[in-house]
Amino acid sequence: MPPKFLEIDKKRKQMKSNTQQSLLIIYTGGTIGMIEDTGDKSLKPIDFNHISKEIPELKKISHKLKWISLDPIVDSSDIKPENWELMAETVYKNHYKFDGFIFLHGTDTMAYSASALSFHFENLAKPVIFTGSQLPIGLVRTDGRENLLSAIEIAAAQNNNGPMVPGVSIYFENKLFQGNRTTKYSAENFNAFVSPNYPILGESGVYLKFFKENIHYPKLGDKLRLHKKFNPHVGILKVFPGITKEFVEPILKNKHLRAIVLETFGAGNATTEKWFITLIISYIKSGGVVLNVSQCLAGTVEQGKYETSLELKKAGVFGGSDITTEAAVTKLMCLLGQNISKKKLLIRLNNSISGEIN
């Protein structure tokens, strides 16, 4: 049987709800907001007060659209936790003024930002959609035009007098992904993102199709909560054949490092060299947290399935299930920022906060 879906015609007259939605579009930086200078051919940020010159189709949209640019505008490679805090605060302060939010963001760290915002909020009942482009909005072949127009329609879509897609998602190249299940896999294709361990939330063609059974809906009446502060003292340690003690030891003995995302082979396997396990044990005993995440795009960590992961489990390494590296890093930053005990942190780490693990 094919999956059940709700169809919403892109033509406004055929939509289930004709109510005008109020949407806030937030530019953070990135390729989508660039135009080519006619003189030196360099790329420069567009003035979003004149965005309709680049996308005249916006004049046909009946929804109320407001544009703002965050200060400072940053390339997505320069994104930091304080930028996520500003994004989250912007949504939180305007939560009751708008029906939905669209972030225009660079693609390189979009999955990190979408994951981060999913953890900044609890009980987010309105759509927060990230989108961007591989080519600048001012170019003829840009993918940004369709990405933005469809993101607007998705953010405005209603289901039983409520948002069709609440929470944080990514829309890119005809597909709608859950934000904290997404990773960028291509630097040159328009379909730059994948979600290997979770099905898509929707897709666009002649119709917008929403796969409602994949969408997480918050409980009605639960108050929106904002976890404002993130702790950035998290690191990624990727294991590889030939990894040495001289490389690993300075990392695990860094007194400022509160948590490690350990990227392992396959289903959570790593070297069983005595020095490696000893360093891991020492780091955990000193108060550090180690979260085991697979280097594979698809699949899940199963500590103890093989002997090469059993030693990690015995050492106190926490299995990350099918979480992405992007979600693992931002989830740890969020939990560390709440200043809770290590025991409570591990309990929350083991449970889904916003649909990031199965």
CB burial readout 64-100, b (16+ within 10 A) else e: ebebebbeeebebeebebebbbebbebbbebbeebbb
Helix%, strand%, coil% for the chain, nearest 5:
30, 25, 45
How far apart (Å, rounded) are the C-alpha atoms in residues 147 and 135? 11
- Cβ-proximal residues to 278 (8 Å cutoff; 6+ apart), any chain: none
Residue in 19, 28, 31, 107 annotated catalytic: 31
State both tokens at 187: 């630097």
CA pair distance 154, 131, nearest whole angstrom: 11
Residue type, 150: S
Q: Under a CB-based contact definition with an 8 Å cutoff, are residues 130 and 179 in contact?
A: yes
Of 129, 121, 76, 132, whose CA–CA distance to 102 is shortest? 129
**Is 31 an active-site residue?**
yes
Q: Hey, what are 244's tokens?
A: 């040495």
Distances (CA, A) of 222 to 23, 92, 124: 22, 15, 9
Decide: 220 and 228 in contact? Cβ < 8 Å.
no
Read off the tokens for 93: 């302060």
Q: Whats the size of the chain, residue-wise?
A: 358
Two tokens, residue 133? 């482009």
Beta bridge partners of 103: 26, 130
Q: Please give the backbone phi and psi of residue 226, each rounded to the nearest 5 degrees, phi first.
A: -115, 125
- Within 193-267, strands assigned E span 193-194, 202-204, 207-210, 225-226, 234-238, 259-264
Contact (CB, 8 A) for 236 and 261: yes
**Both structure tokens of 240:** 């590889």
Q: Annotated catalytic sites, by residue?
A: 31
